A and B are shown apart, each in its own frame.
Chain A
């Protein structure tokens, strides 16, 4: 398992699954981390046809033959199972595999955990990276997403998760859909890039792959990556302040509740040990008794302290995914106090983008996210309808299925599974595609 170009670096693969995953992997591939292979995998030809940087794989050539899963997890499952061999090739001979997907639709929700499991079986360390829907996309999507995350967590070693809804808690609801998705995507990309950079950035005291492996393998927990830059008089203090105001740190709570923190510091060639010490002391004070792994390098820019922090949560830490609307615990004032948007958005320019500035940069392309152009400007109550409509468009059968459902039985439509896309078998008004035991009201207990 050697990276041919950089024999000392671990072999890293980015695998994006479903619309969101493909979108994110394309962004990541554009940044062009050296020696990292990027793959886009979807049941939808339209999303794959937008890929220019990553290698593409169409799942389910037979069914749904490039039309997308339309939110149908059973269809996605059939597709992913039928392409097991192709997927196995994607994940084989890798040290670290990122499985990146948006949860709530069909393909990402179902295929991500499948691919993660294949990668796990092939011997890689597997990091899941998942987006979950806005609340206004509806509870069914939300529930499906929660299930998807649960499955992914079970097969991957760790899952970095970001809820799109979270963006609104950070910025308030007066944000455009474009910007909201952009922020969510940046956050997700940051997780992937921060971790990858930590491993492959040239440096003296790098966090090694085996450190990573030791702290993550078999945890099946959630985690997050934070990338911040300390500037000004006191680099370490500034960086620490930004970490604490980062939503993923939940005002420091996430640090104290973690099992492991992996920290990579990089500064200019004048980065002093004192600076490093100050930072380490300050983070230790927020996370006493926690396994701390530190790496450092002096190949960055002077007068800036770049920090990549990976938080590995306890396996069933209370910071569960459903609870991600972290601000539920926060008062409005506290939310404002975080003053996060400014930090976060401005750091967009230099957080993960800046991180690799020195790494030859030959094939580096500026990160530019162009979300599908929606016609809406800001997320107002009326706009939620539009958002829902947009979601329904992504999932063409959604509306139709609702209608069918209403004529028949008030059952969870998901139980139609394999038969969702074809003519239903209706007998005297009863949809026979639904499991008999459900129609007969039999309980499994």
Chain B
């Protein structure tokens, strides 16, 4: 482990701030050695609404993680999300100009540059440009065109962008805490990096991160990212619906959801009442379990349906041969996989961060997928850059290994 390197993932989530410390060795194998968490009080729908409390929450989580890992954290890979983020595909074109028509590093760089020059609204900026496939003179599906002969090279990329100001908010906040932000990554992408195996990426999988404030999703197929999306609806909406429908305080609704929730309506719940009278908050109050489950399942069903519609429109539903993987705190909802199977008509499972090793607990918690994925994201990046075999190679390597799913 002489060359091991510390990489830290930070998610400033709507319900919790989560810091995961990974130790990454030369072979890119990440080992989780520390974890810090704090309740998040100043985030709504995945975005910061009150910086001063968020600063405090981030600091607490960092300190906790430092203690556990026994390291001093100096830089982080930061997860970002929010309704302002967009994912779409774009194509870059580049004529091969060298006399011998052999495609070299510079050509690859140029075509990617061309693909990056997407027509974004002026207040948007690019978060990721992820290479999917090259094509050379009309021949599709080329993963690495270097050395090939051709006149015209194209590249398909997946672009994730977001509103500049809103991306800057968490970056500025973290920088203000004297932590360097090495890079940012879309939460949905990070979660898929943590939970998917190479086979799942190849066969085609939809990863859904059911957070408190947002539901982030990403699709891998053929080993590359095909699609990403954010829905600014999450567990908070479930709780809010319950609070409203059952006429209980929000905090109580949240607890009812965790204790008695279900993604599908259990026929046994008909006419069953939950007695809250021992509860100081709402003395003498009873709630109908059937109502609880109905309110909840309608909301979760809607979330899945919205994603299903989006995927349908993108024409990707038939590419998901490995089914659906669920993560984020919402994946703890009982019967959530059954609901997902019903709606997507695909196999569904809860994601585990199996592609890393380390603290067992952390790996099994669905909430930590994003932060753990950020470590993977960071590991590929920082391993690619310092070697500096030439920037083109470095970038290519990064894309191939990280997003291309091939070693």
A74 to B249, CA, bound (A): 8
A436 touches B299 (CB 8 A): yes
B41 touches A444 (CB 8 A): no
Given the interface contacts A62-B41, A65-B50, does A444 sit within 8 Å of B245 by beta carbon?
yes
Contact of B249 among A62, A77, A438, A440 (CB under 8 A): A77
B44 touches A419 (CB 8 A): yes
A81 touches B41 (CB 8 A): no
B249 touches A436 (CB 8 A): no
B236 touches A418 (CB 8 A): yes
Per-residue B-contact encoding for A75-115, CB less than 8 Å = 1, 0 else: 00110011000000000000000000000000000000010
Is B294 close to A, CB under 8 A?
yes
Given the interface contacts A62-B42, A63-B49, does A427 sit within 8 Å of B298 by beta carbon?
no
Contact size class for B?
20 to 34
B50 touches A435 (CB 8 A): no
A63 to B236, CA, bound (A): 16
A63 touches B42 (CB 8 A): yes
A423 touches B45 (CB 8 A): yes
A78 to B294, CA, bound (A): 24
Given the interface contacts A65-B50, A425-B83, A436-B302, does A444 sit within 8 Å of B241 by beta carbon?
no
B83 touches A417 (CB 8 A): no
A437 touches B83 (CB 8 A): no
Write out the residue numbers on chain B whose beta carbons fall within 8 Å of the beta carbon of A415. 244
Is B306 close to A, CB under 8 A?
yes
Is A388 close to B, CB under 8 A?
no
Is B372 close to A, CB under 8 A?
no
Is B53 close to A, CB under 8 A?
yes
B41 touches A433 (CB 8 A): no
Contact of B237 among A74, A117, A433 (CB under 8 A): A433
A111 to B119, CA, bound (A): 49
Is B189 close to A, CB under 8 A?
no
Write out the residue numbers on chain B whose beta carbons fall within 8 Å of the beta carbon of A427. 231, 306
Is B232 close to A, CB under 8 A?
yes
Contact of A82 among B41, B231, B237 (CB under 8 A): B41
Given the interface contacts A62-B41, A437-B294, does A419 sit within 8 Å of B53 by beta carbon?
no
Write out the residue numbers on chain B whose beta carbons fall within 8 Å of the beta carbon of A82. 41
Is A121 close to B, CB under 8 A?
yes
Per-residue A-contact encoding for B215-244, CB less than 8 Å = 1, 0 else: 000000000000000011100110111011
A438 to B236, CA, bound (A): 16
A414 to B244, CA, bound (A): 9
A444 to B231, CA, bound (A): 27
A414 to B245, CA, bound (A): 11
Given the interface contacts A65-B50, A74-B243, A418-B240, does A425 sit within 8 Å of B232 by beta carbon?
yes
Per-residue B-contact encoding for A45-68, CB less than 8 Å = 1, 0 else: 000000000000000011101000
Write out the residue numbers on chain A whose beta carbons fall within 8 Å of the beta carbon of B231. 425, 427
A437 touches B241 (CB 8 A): yes
Residue from the set A78, A81, A114, A444 with the largest chain B CB neighbour count within 10 Å: A444
A62 touches B53 (CB 8 A): yes
Q: Please give me the residue from chain A that is nearest to B291 by CB atom.
A: A444
A82 to B251, CA, bound (A): 9
Given the interface contacts A422-B49, A423-B83, A444-B288, does A437 sit within 8 Å of B237 by beta carbon?
no
- Expressed in whole angstroms, the minimum distance between the Cβ of A143 and any Cβ of chain B is 14
Q: Please give me the residue from chain A that is nearest to B239 by CB atom.
A: A418
Is A402 close to B, CB under 8 A?
no
A78 to B291, CA, bound (A): 23
Is B250 close to A, CB under 8 A?
yes
B294 touches A442 (CB 8 A): yes
Write out the residue numbers on chain A whose beta carbons fall within 8 Å of the beta carbon of B45. 419, 422-423, 425
Per-residue B-contact encoding for A402-445, CB less than 8 Å = 1, 0 else: 00000000000011111100110101000011011110101010
Write out the residue numbers on chain A whose beta carbons fall within 8 Å of the beta carbon of B243. 74, 417-418
A81 touches B251 (CB 8 A): yes
Write out the residue numbers on chain A whose beta carbons fall within 8 Å of the beta carbon of B241. 435-437
- Expressed in whole angstroms, the minimum distance between the Cβ of B217 and any Cβ of chain A is 15
Given the interface contacts A62-B42, A422-B49, does A436 sit within 8 Å of B298 by beta carbon?
yes
A61 to B295, CA, bound (A): 31
A121 touches B294 (CB 8 A): no
Write out the residue numbers on chain A whose beta carbons fall within 8 Å of the beta carbon of B306. 427
A82 to B232, CA, bound (A): 24
- Expressed in whole angstroms, the minimum distance between the Cβ of B127 and any Cβ of chain A is 19
A419 touches B298 (CB 8 A): no
- Expressed in whole angstroms, the minimum distance between the Cβ of A240 and any Cβ of chain B is 40
A346 to B374, CA, bound (A): 73
B41 touches A432 (CB 8 A): no
- Expressed in whole angstroms, the minimum distance between the Cβ of B296 and any Cβ of chain A is 9
A435 touches B236 (CB 8 A): no
Contact of B250 among A77, A121, A444 (CB under 8 A): A77
> Which parts of B36-90 form the interface with A (CB within 8 Å)?
41-42, 44-45, 49-50, 53, 83
Q: Please give me the residue from chain B that is nearest to A444 by CB atom.
A: B291
Q: Please give me the residue from chain B that is nearest to A155 by CB atom.
A: B283
A422 touches B44 (CB 8 A): yes
Write out the residue numbers on chain B whose beta carbons fall within 8 Å of the beta carbon of A417. 240, 243-244, 250
B250 touches A81 (CB 8 A): yes
B249 touches A435 (CB 8 A): no
B42 touches A435 (CB 8 A): no
Is B27 close to A, CB under 8 A?
no
> Which parts of B300-325 form the interface with A (CB within 8 Å)?
301-302, 306
> Which parts of A319-342 form the interface with B (CB within 8 Å)?
none
Is B280 close to A, CB under 8 A?
yes
Q: Please give me the residue from chain A that is nearest to B288 by CB atom.
A: A444
A373 to B116, CA, bound (A): 59
A and B contact pairs by CB, cutoff 8 A, 26 listed: A62-B50, A63-B42, A63-B49, A74-B240, A74-B243, A81-B249, A81-B250, A81-B251, A117-B280, A415-B244, A417-B244, A419-B236, A423-B232, A427-B231, A427-B306, A433-B233, A433-B237, A436-B295, A436-B298, A436-B302, A437-B245, A438-B244, A438-B245, A442-B294, A442-B298, A444-B294
Given contacts A121-B280, A436-B298, A436-B302, 5 further A-B contacts (CB under 8 A): A63-B41, A82-B41, A425-B83, A435-B244, A444-B294
> What are the nearest 5 A-B pairs in CB distance?
A435-B241, A425-B232, A436-B298, A436-B299, A62-B53
Residues on A facing B (Cβ under 8 Å): 61-63, 65, 74, 77-78, 81-82, 114, 117, 121, 414-419, 422-423, 425, 427, 432-433, 435-438, 440, 442, 444
